[in-house]
Structure 1
Amino acid sequence: MSGRIGMAGLLVFALTACGGGGTAGATPGTRAPGTPTAPAAPTATATQDTPADTTGTAVPSRVPAANGDVSRVLARMSVEEKVGQLFMPVLYGTAADSVSGENQARYGAQTPAKVIAKYHLGGVILFPANVKSVSQVVALTNGLQAASPRVPLIIGTDQENGLVSRMGALMTRFPGAATVGATGDPARSRAVAKATGEELRALGVNLDFAPVADVNVNPDNPVIGRRAYGDDPAKVAAMVSGAVKGFGDAGVASSAKHFPGHGDTDVDSHTGLPVIKHTRAQWERIDAPPFKAAVAAGVDAVMSAHIVFPKLDSSGDPATLSRPILTGLLREKLGFKGVVSTDALNMEGVRKKYGDGEVAVRAVLAGADLLLMPNDLSKAYTAVTAAVKSGRISRARLDQSVTRLLTLRQKRGFLREAPRASAAEAAGVLRSAEHRRLAARVTREGS
């Protein structure tokens, strides 16, 4: 994930996209990257009973739930609660009840728990400033879950390993994707992801914004680089598939990033708007294979990229705001049924043309379900709520996104009740001898 974080002590909502290149604590968002696929909201088809939304695309007048549990949870929600489920902003504090002037100034509530309640938030993403010790993180994640009694939170982080390791102070130091890729063995990718997922789950984290599915074909790329498994599409695809399966083995959701592919850029989307000049045929050959592999492996989420891809969408809008890319390519062509997350919405690459409220609305209309780190949460929340009530975003479209987010929880076993982490159990999992041996073996093989 990426985006600007500000002061120490913050905790952030769900997936960030680019993750950027230098230090583990300050990288840009993560481009989102499973396990067996679970049912999700079906693709809309035009019939006499399916009215068209304001984009001209037919949507079902009623979104069939993945099953009865998802349907019942959805039916109990107000519009305001449903809109809140889409957002994952940055919060400040190392405990759910931490009092912070930053929270008060930004959100009108002093503590993370009160911000969650005010906006009916759907998830949280953790950064290094939220991390002091195993017992503290366990208390934090348990406290955040307690602040959301109606719907358990999606608690995420960017633990790619290597350069982007938000929880690295507590976890086994596994090598990054480039080293794992250099082993040439997808089983190694799966093993590292499984071990990483086990450690995250022990801390109360249920979503990792990994693996990076970009193919790093540009040596001057300032964002991806060694965060990618390599520069060969087929080899990267095999490693991404292994990682998705490994996270699934651990019972943790994964997010492939950054769609439609951030591997051939020489501009940082945190500070500018990259343009990728690949033709459609080049995209099919270079960028698409790892995302196809992630979808086939059952990835839970896919993160969008703040990049312009003229041969895929001539509008000039970044992929995060592009219906032809997020809905046309990702959903319809690749058949992805899970959660589409934006990269961090406070990054300059997505904020150049539209205000903070309009960016959020356009992301939903493009096909995004999870709105990560809005620059101004109040404006974004108010704008999306108003768009739903005016009909610009149809109620059915809103229900599609909430259904996908609820289905992710169900697939990973925390729709009915949030799991509680245990500091004693976590101490036995984090940096275990088995995991340290695995890290050393993969580092040796990939060096």
Structure 2
Amino acid sequence: MQTRLVTATTLVATLAATLAPIPAQAATPVRPSTAEHGWVTSTLRHMSLEQKVGQLFSTYVYGGDATGPTAADRAANLAAFGVETPAEVIERYHLGGVCYFSWSHNLDSPRQIAALSNGLQRAALGDGAKGRVPLLISTDQEQGTVLRMPSPAAQFPGAMALGAARSPRAARTSADVTGRELRAVGIRQPYAPIADVNVNAGNPVIGVRSFGADPTLVADLTAAQVTGFQDDARVTAVAKHFPGHGDTATDSHTGLPVINHSRAEWDRIDAPPFRRAIKAGVESIMTAHIVIPALDPSGDPATLSPTILTGVLRGELGFRGVIVTDALNMAGVRAKYGDERVPVLALKAGADQLLMPPDLALARDAVLRAVASGELTERRIDESVRRILGMKYRQGLARSPLVDVEEAVRTVGAPEHLAAVTRVTDPTLTAVRNDAGVLPLPRADRSVLVTGWDSAAFAPVATVAAGFTARGARATARPATLPSDTVIAAAATQAAAHDLTVVLVNKAWDTTVTDPRATQQRLVAALLATGKPVVVVAVRDPYDIAYLPGVTTYLATYSYTRAAMDTLVRALHGELSPSGRLPVTIPTAEGTGSVLYPYGHGLSW
């Protein structure tokens, strides 16, 4: 079939249909119910100052079992926290929350995760004495390129892919299913959705984690996911990263970004998604370790800025929920003040939850000393603890903190959830270029080389090769992640002996990182030089094509999950027609502001 460009008229009509308002959304209660007020007040009354301060902190713990971690995890806990088991960390510090990660060995299987959550909750509640509070367990389950729950959990496309599909309903479905699976294993606070508007193609930390470059689209999909998480799945949505991390050229993990938007630009670009999230009733908002002089000329990162958190977020935007900091072990928040001052300054700025300080004991003791000296009042601590307790109550943790392990096993990866993944993923694929008319491919007995960037966790190269094999081709999988010159030469030799090459690229534009990403550019150039047909697929940022001269066939999947690769293979063979449209502008590589492909561009066949 002949390739056709999605016209501007079609785009406008489709946008009008897909961005239609979703069903009414409940706002965060202005006043708590009588039952909530009673539980929060009673619980707070029986808490010591140390217990209250503990509620402010959420951090990682090492191990997949609350009381019986491995020897290596015991040693890691001892080094970080002075005790050996996750349960002992909870008890020693009266923690209000725990954040799960793969690297801290918390996430293995639905059964294990649910059992760990129950063990941690029992440690938090102890003997049930008054003043003991259930934990709020969290994780970064944005989906796409940032997800923590391993298979068989439903692995949806990430935010920018959803932006390409332009469907609030699909965004809501993704949040709903994701939230249900998290809740089943005891996780009540996914750190999602991303409300950042990615207007900087060189953004090293947000990129495809954002829904796109249009504030209205990002606002619509952010609100849809808030509804999916909270109203449908009954977990706490976290809109991040306030006041907007989308126009940074510095990664706040390694430095302190400065955004030079004027106040008018901030109101027009960065604020709308957060305003919509608040209107949709978002329970929690995460801060960004960024400086925006137009909002606060002090040079303090937003996480530590009373002007931004108390003045803008609470005062101007009217947010009444829980403000959680981004991780306090990131360089962006540590650049100006010492680790002992950061948690105190964050609370003085208006934050409630303090996430992952680099030294938990130091941070906790600093807050206690600040109360003792009068720099912070116990009343100020109580304000944050009340918000946190109220959020826990609304999540049902006061009534039922434990989960049914067998139900968790049945829920995570349920067939209907995996079917929803396919439905949501299919409309996200974006065909950007098909000048030579190579696509769609007929099923044929041809030799195909699949090479390029790969992931041990998802194996996209092998997944695509298997898809070709299933359709009658003789496919060879040759992963070449950041390849050496020797690997590039060998891949080119192999490509010359095949009828077709499919090459996957991941942030090929970014040559500023330690790994020389330009090797991906050289790999693509070598494959093109064979003269054989080459299909280039960006499995992360769609911007790569600007740095790959000579490419005539190019698609963007925005993520490398198995579902995304399955959708890709089916589209390559004409089994579905690509319908995704760029949710960002792709600029030329020269940095002059020229546009290579405009917002809304997309091909279909």
Report the TM-score range of the alignment, normalised by the length of the smaller protein. Answer: 0.7 to 0.9
1:35 is displaced (CA, Å) by 5.1
The residue correspondences of 1:6-405 to structure 2 (distance < 5 A) are 36-39=27-30, 67-99=37-69, 100-128=74-102, 129-149=105-125, 150-248=132-230, 249-405=232-388
In structure 2, distance between residues paired with 1:372 and 1:266: 24
Q: Decide whether the 8 Å contact of 2:140 with 2:192 is kept in 1.
A: yes
Q: Is the 8 A contact 1:131 1:169 kept in 2?
A: no
In structure 1, how many angstroms separate the alpha carbons of the residues matched to 2:150 and 2:163?
20
Instruction: Pick which of 129-138 and 420-429 moved more.
Output: 420-429
1:373-417: CA deviations, max 9, x gaps?
A: 001111110000111122111121111100000010111111x23
Partner Cα distance (1:254, 1:75) in 2: 28
TM-aligned CA deviation for residue 38 of structure 1: 2.6
Aligned partner of residue 164 in structure 1, secondary structure: coil
Residue number in structure 2 paired with 1:49? none
For structure 2, which runs of at least 5 residues remain unmatched after alignment?
Answer: 1-24, 126-131, 430-605
Q: Which amino acid aligns with 2:109?
A: S
Q: Tell me by how many angstroms 1:103 deviates.
A: 1.3
Q: Is the 8 A contact 2:36 2:393 kept in 1?
A: no
Check conservation: 1:66, 1:403, Cα contact below 8 A.
no
Q: Which gives a bigger RCO, structure 1 or 2 (Cα 8 Å, sep 6+)?
A: 1
Amino acid at match of 1:157: T
Shift of 1:181: 1.6
In the alignment, the residues of structure 1 paired with residue 26 and residue 280 of structure 2 have an alpha-carbon distance, to the nearest angstrom, of: 6
Cα distance in 1 between the residues matched to 2:189 and 2:116: 16
Instruction: Judge which range, 301-310 or 390-399, deviates more.
Output: 390-399
One-letter amino acid matched to 2:292: F
Q: Where does residue 52 of structure 1 map in the other structure?
A: none
In percent, how many aligned pairs have the same letter? 52
Aligned residues: 391
Q: Which moves more between the two structures, 95-104 or 317-326?
A: 95-104
Report if aligned partners of 2:243, 2:270 keep a CA contact under 8 Å in 1. Answer: yes
Note if contact 2:108-2:150 (Cα within 8 Å) is conserved in structure 1.
no
The 3 A distance-change label for structure 1 pair 66 and 141 is closer
Contact 1:145 1:418 in 2 (8 A): no
The verdict on how the C-alpha distance between 1:283 and 1:255 changes in structure 2, with shifts beyond 3 A counting, is: same
Q: Tell me which amino acid in the other structure corresponds to 2:421.
A: A
Residue deviations 1:48-79 (CA, integer Å, cap 9, x gap): xxxxxxxxxxxxxxxx9961111111111111
Shift of 1:40: 6.2
Query: Which of 434, 437, 447 is equivalent to 2:416?
Result: 434
The one-letter code matched in structure 2 to 1:125 is C
Report the Cα distance in structure 2 between the residues aligned to 1:188 and 1:216, rounded to whole angstroms: 20
Q: 2-side partners of 1:273 and 1:72: how far apart?
A: 41
CA shift for structure 1 position 242: 0.3
Contact 1:216 1:264 in 2 (8 A): yes
Cα distance in 2, alignment partners of residues 120 and 192 from structure 1 = 33
Aligned-pair CA distance for 1:423: 2.6
TM-score, normalisation: structure 1: 0.85
C-alpha displacement of 1:90: 2.1
1:95 alignment partner, SS class:
coil
- CA distance, structure 1, for counterparts of residue 120 and residue 50 of structure 2: 20
Indicate conservation of the 8 Å contact 1:345/1:373, yes or no: yes
Please give the alpha-carbon distance, in whole angstroms, between the structure 1 residues aligned to 2:194 and 2:26.
17
Q: Distance in 1 between matches of 2:35 and 2:355?
A: 24
C-alpha displacement of 1:81:
0.7
Name the aligned partner's letter for residue 315 of structure 1. Answer: S
C-alpha distance in structure 1 between counterparts of 2:68 and 2:246, whole Å: 39
Deviation track 1:228-248 (CA, whole Å, cap 9, x = no partner) reads: 111100010000000000001
- In the alignment, the residues of structure 1 paired with residue 27 and residue 346 of structure 2 have an alpha-carbon distance, to the nearest angstrom, of 27
User: Against the structure 1 CA distance between its residues 40 and 164, is the aligned structure 2 distance closer, same or farther, given a 3 Å change threshold?
Assistant: farther
TM-score scaled by length of structure 2: 0.63
Output the amino acid matched with 2:323: V
Residue by residue over 1:100-128, the C-alpha shift from the partner in whole angstroms, topping out at 9 and shown as x without a partner, is 11211221111111111111100111112
CA distance in 1, matches of 2:121, 2:36: 23
Amino acid at match of 2:56: L
Q: Residue type of the partner of 2:61?
A: L
Native 8 Å contact 1:152 1:418 kept in 2: no
Contact 1:269 1:306 in 2 (8 A): yes
Instruction: Please report how far the alpha carbon of residue 422 of structure 1 lies from its aligned counterpart in structure 2 after TM superposition.
Output: 2.1
The 1-side partners of 2:160 and 2:175 are apart by 14
Check conservation: 1:220, 1:266, Cα contact below 8 A.
Answer: yes
Task: Note the C-alpha offset of 1:347.
Answer: 0.4
Cα distance in 1, alignment partners of residues 401 and 384 from structure 2? 23
Q: Radius of gyration: which is bigger?
A: 2
